[in-house]
Amino acid sequence: MMSLNRYRLRHKAKISKAAAIAQEMIARPDRLLGVILTGNNFVNILASAIATILFTRWFGDSGILVASLALTFIILIFAEVTPKTLAALHPEKVAFPAAYVLKPLQTLLYPLVWIINFLSNGLLYILGVRPDAAQDKGLSREELRTLVNESRSVIPSRHRTMLLSILDLEKVVVDDIMVPRGEVVGIDLDDDIKDVLESLKKVHHTRIPVYNGDLNRPVGILHAKKALRFLSSSLEKNKANLLQFTVEPYFVPENTSLHVQLANFQRTKRRIGLVVNEYGDVKGLVTLEDILEEIVGEFTTDVSNVSPDIVPEGDDTYTIDGTISIRELNKSLGWDLPNMGPRTLSGLIIEHLEFFPSEPMCLRFNKYCIEIQKTQNNIIRSAKMWKVTDEEDLNESDDG
């Protein structure tokens, strides 16, 4: 009864009467143990008394020792170790039929069990334990993670990855997955109207921020469908008419966890938000698609992205875009670069060097070798990286 899986039992109790009875009895383990141990100890003591009488008649005074040895062996093998091992290995096959027997016994022996539990629980109260307050505690996040990882034979690998990603949503904030401000594609109303119209024709994103001169001065978000409607309408093509097709910008604090932001997107019926820091400055943008991709993985292709952020060069060497997030880099290559400080590879290298590097330049960071290939506007645009193996570390030590 005590070996039953509580969560499996809760599920089976909906379809099985025996499981429902077992669940009801396990809810009060003091009463269950009271009836089981009452019967168990009564039988063992009765068997001991009978064996002592019989063996004393047969062997005299030495019969007490013979009876103790014989009965200990018999009870251990046939009444304790063997049946309890069998029951522990197949708890449902034993516990469910036993529930039909134990339930009537619990009712029949209730007065005796009540007295035993009263005395036992009184002693527990003195020791500071409250049996009636015992609860079936739910699984913690880490326990649930272990449960998902251990269910390889039941849950497909892709589904396990999705479940684990959902568990991680609370640990990850929008600042970890946002599109950095420098990579945001938007419409600047300070540009000439011809340039604005040309940008609308070439943009590859569904929703586009519209701002005055700087992303810190947003005026709205323009949907691609509305942009197409504006371009095909008979309205005069000016900035004032363009603003009629925009919606008010939606702002997201940078430290909002993904599970909260997912709920906020659902509540506000929004799909894109501008990420702002504590000073109100826009740091980038985050979309509903970005959060969903954290759960299910990449499911769309950005047609404006001509080359991927990580390009394999052979021999476990990669050419990497410096603006890639550390989290994405670790997730893609299985690396363990620190992600508690700078969010991007460029920021991590600059923090390590403590100056703005010029290309070409090589450095070693923990077990990673980095060759800076291109810098621009105090940002590392491209770097070649590879991970040093333990054997290579050993060879370098020998050379030194």
In single-letter form, the type of residue at position 328 comes to E
Residue 36 reports pLDDT greater than 70: yes
* 152 within a domain of the structure (yes/no): no
Quote the pLDDT of residue 299. 58
Residue 136 reports pLDDT greater than 60: no
3-state secondary structure the chain: CCCCCHHHHHHHCCCCHHHHHHHHHHCCHHHHHHHHHHHHHHHHHHHHHHHHHHHHHHHHHHHHHHHHHHHHHHHHHHHHHHHHHHHHHCHHHHHHHHHHHHHHHHHHCHHHHHHHHHHHHHHHHHCCCCHHHCCCCCCCHHHHHHHHHHCCCCCCHHHHHHHHHHHHCCCCEHHHHCEEHHHCCCEECCCCHHHHHHHHHHCCCCEEEEECCCCCCEEEEEEHHHHHHHHHCCCCCCHHHHHCCEECCCEEECCCEHHHHHHHHHHHCCCEEEEECCCCCEEEEEEHHHHHHHHHCCCCCCCCCCCCCEEEEECCEEEEECCCEHHHHHHHHCCCCCCCCCCEHHHHHHHHHCCCCCCCEEEEECCEEEEEEEEECCEEEEEEEEECCHHHHHHHHHHC
Regarding predicted confidence, which is higher, 151 or 207?
Answer: 207
- Looking at every residue in the chain, the average pLDDT score rounds to 84
| Domain match, 290 and 359 both | no
Residue 303 reports pLDDT greater than 70: no
* 160 within a domain of the structure (yes/no): no
Encode pLDDT of 277-301 as tens digits: 999 899 999 999 989 888 887 655 4
| Domain match, 320 and 383 both | yes
CATH of the domain at 344: 3.30.465.10
The structural domain count of the chain equals 3
Regarding predicted confidence, which is higher, 32 or 132?
Answer: 32
| Domain match, 247 and 344 both | no
Contact at 8 Å (CB) between 308 and 382?
Answer: no
Encode pLDDT of 58-109 as tens digits: 888 788 888 888 888 888 888 888 988 888 888 888 888 888 888 888 888 8
Domain that holds residue 111: 6-133
CATH of the domain at 198: 3.10.580.10
| Domain match, 340 and 364 both | yes
Encode pLDDT of 120-131 as tens digits: 878 888 887 776
Residue 271 reports pLDDT greater than 90: yes
Confidence of residue 304 (pLDDT cuts 50, 70, 90): very low
235, 262, 296 — which closes off a domain? 296
Confidence of residue 137 (pLDDT cuts 50, 70, 90): low
| Domain match, 389 and 340 both | yes
Encode pLDDT of 338-354 as tens digits: 877 788 899 999 998 88
* 305 within a domain of the structure (yes/no): no
Encode pLDDT of 172-181 as tens digits: 889 888 888 8
For the entire predicted model, the pTM comes to 0.62
249, 265, 296 — which closes off a domain? 296
Residue 223 reports pLDDT greater than 90: yes
268, 296, 324 — which closes off a domain? 296
| Domain match, 254 and 290 both | yes
| Domain match, 116 and 189 both | no
Average pLDDT over residues 195-222: 91
